Chain A
Amino acid sequence: RKEVEQDPGPFNVPEGATVAFNCTYSNSASQSFFWYRQDCRKEPKLLMSVYSSGNEDGRFTAQLNRASQYISLLIRDSKLSDSATYLCVVNGRSYIPTFGRGTSLIVHP
């Protein structure tokens, strides 16, 4: 089993839809969690950190489920500009980061 797993998609949704991605991790001792957004042929950019209590930023909500070892990202009211690849990052032992392979989102008119 890979350390961090994501469904590569693509998730193809209409504008205004709500979409959710999950990211599972294998190391129960993982320390911190993040979601990044990556546009085609660009560098990843931090979208949000994932806290134990959950985290919301506008249309984006991230949650952590330590018991089941996954993090989630919910996007409400999808915009065309949300089309990108969403990468989860799990920091394990000594806060060494591991990226998932990313989930591709395509929002269409």
Chain B
Amino acid sequence: EAEVAQSPRYKITEKSQAVAFWCDPISGHATLYWYRQILGQGPELLVQFQDESVVDDSQLPKDRFSAERLKGVDSTLKIQPAELGDSAMYLCASSLAFSGGAQNEQFFGPGTRLTVL
């Protein structure tokens, strides 16, 4: 069964350091999403890609966060510098497309749990 891959699974860093997360979506999925999830809350969309183009990044803190999907396949999310409040689970998901119906169904990777000390 095809899966979304993410690495690393866990990351501990000190504040002001740079961190990067990697995501490889299910093959053939054009749409890729990065979410941040704080314990007890639902996932919050940070950025949505359609192929290599950004569809929405309105909730991405652009002063410190960046995301790219250069060839329209895998993607990297970077935080520089990390702050204490960035401690959370970072989830990547993919879907066939972002039109209606089943093409919207998202499949999630296992996530990267970030702890900033």
Contact = CB atoms under 8 A, between A and B. Distances in A.
Contact of B91 (A4, A43, A49, A95): A43
B105 A97 contact: no
Interface of B: 33, 35, 40-45, 48, 55-56, 91, 98-102, 104-111
Contacts of A22: none
**Dominant SS at the A interface?**
strand
Contacts of B105: 34, 46, 49
A95 B45 contact: no
A97 B99 contact: no
Interface of A: 4, 6, 8, 31-32, 34, 42-46, 49, 87, 89, 91, 94-102
Given A46-B107, A87-B42, A96-B56, 18 more contacts: A31-B100, A34-B104, A34-B105, A34-B106, A44-B108, A45-B108, A46-B105, A49-B104, A91-B98, A94-B56, A94-B98, A95-B104, A97-B48, A97-B106, A99-B42, A100-B42, A101-B40, A101-B42
